[in-house]
Amino acid sequence: MKIFRFFLICATIVTLNSCNYSQNDKSDANKTQRVEKNEYEFVIEPQFDIAYPFYDGDLAEIVINGINGKCGFINKTGKIVIIPQFDYISHFASGIAAVRVGEKWGYIDTAGEIVIKPQFDYAYPFYESYGGLAEVKIGGKRGYIDTNGNFVIGPYDYIGSFSKELMAVRIVGKWGYVDKTGKIVIKLQFEDARGFSEGIAAVKVGEKWGYIDTTGNIVIKPQFDDAESFIEGLAAVKVGRKWGYINTTGNFAINPQFEIVHCFSEGIARVQVKNLWGKKWGCIDKNGVFVVKPKFSSIDPFNGEGRALVVVKKLWGKKYGYIDKTGEYVVKPKFDGISSFYEGLAKVRIGDKWGYMNKAGEVVIKPQFDYVHDFSEGMAAVRMGTKWGYIDKTGKVIIEPQFVIESEDEDEPPFDEEFYRFCFSEGLAAVKVGKKWGYIDRTGKFVIEPQFDYVDGFIGGLAAVKVGEKWGYIRYTGK
Mean pLDDT per block of 10 residues along the chain (479 residues) reads 40 39 49 70 92 83 80 91 91 89 94 95 88 92 94 92 83 92 93 94 97 96 97 97 97 97 96 89 96 95 90 86 93 90 92 93 94 91 89 94 63 43 80 83 90 90 93 91
Distance CA 335, CA 350 (A): 5
Q: Where are the domains of the chain?
A: 5-476
What pLDDT, on a 0 to 100 scale, did the predictor assign at position 405?
62
pLDDT digits (tens, 9 = 90+) for 30-44: 666 666 567 899 999
What pLDDT, on a 0 to 100 scale, did the predictor assign at position 36?
59
Distance CA 352, CA 17 (A): 24
Distance CA 142, CA 268 (A): 36
Distance CA 84, CA 65 (A): 9
- pTM flag (> 0.85): no
Distance CA 332, CA 316 (A): 16
pLDDT digits (tens, 9 = 90+) for 48-74: 999 988 887 788 888 887 666 899 999
What pLDDT, on a 0 to 100 scale, did the predictor assign at position 258?
97
Output the average pLDDT for the chain: 86
What pLDDT, on a 0 to 100 scale, did the predictor assign at position 175?
96
What pLDDT, on a 0 to 100 scale, did the predictor assign at position 283?
97
pLDDT digits (tens, 9 = 90+) for 250-278: 999 999 999 999 999 999 999 999 987 78
At residue 338, what is the residue type? I
Closest by CA position to 172, among listed 152, 187, 183: 187
